[in-house]
């Protein structure tokens, strides 16, 4: 199962990157990047998955003594939590930028913002 998730995660990343690099609309680029980062999250979580184990919550279902044999690896999950929030931050920032750029130029086409070059 983890393999399937990982594969689809990687596919999401590739799709996202391809979309972000071919779609010239600023908003669509941001959408594509958010798909790619979802893909990253899926890959990360699937790394921590061990077949047949349960969530890393040590309640009644998971006695302390056998916890190490029953739960999945909690570390990637913790990382993904952080990554999701960071992703949201970056997305919000890019959106604000896109809006601001749009206001300056009345355009959302990335190839219109090339005054700086060479």
Restricted to residues 76-105, the positions that interact with another protein (CB under 8 A) are 76-104
Residues 38-67 interacting with another protein (rule: CB under 8 A): 38, 40-51, 53-59, 64, 67
Residue position matching structure tokens 């206001």: 103
- Residue 106's region, left for phi above 0, alpha for psi from -120 to 50, else beta, is left
Q: Tell me how far, at minimum, the Cβ of 29 lies from another protein, in Å.
A: 7
| Cα three-residue angle 65-67-68, rounded to 5 degrees | 105
Smallest separation (angstroms) from another protein to the CB of 52: 9
CB of 1 to another protein, least distance (A): 5
């Amino acid at each position: 199962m983890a393999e399937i998730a990982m594969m689809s995660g990687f596919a999401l990343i590739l799709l996202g990157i391809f979309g972000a690099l071919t779609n010239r609309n600023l908003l669509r680029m941001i959408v594509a990047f958010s798909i790619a980062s979802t893909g990253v999250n899926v890959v990360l979580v699937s790394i921590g998955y061990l077949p047949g184990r349960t969530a890393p919550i040590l309640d009644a279902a998971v006695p302390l003594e056998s916890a190490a044999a029953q739960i999945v690896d909690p570390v990637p999950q913790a990382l993904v939590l952080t990554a999701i929030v960071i992703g949201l931050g970056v997305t919000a920032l890019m959106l604000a930028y896109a809006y601001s750029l749009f206001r300056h130029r009345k355009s959302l086409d990335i190839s219109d913002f090339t005054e700086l070059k060479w």
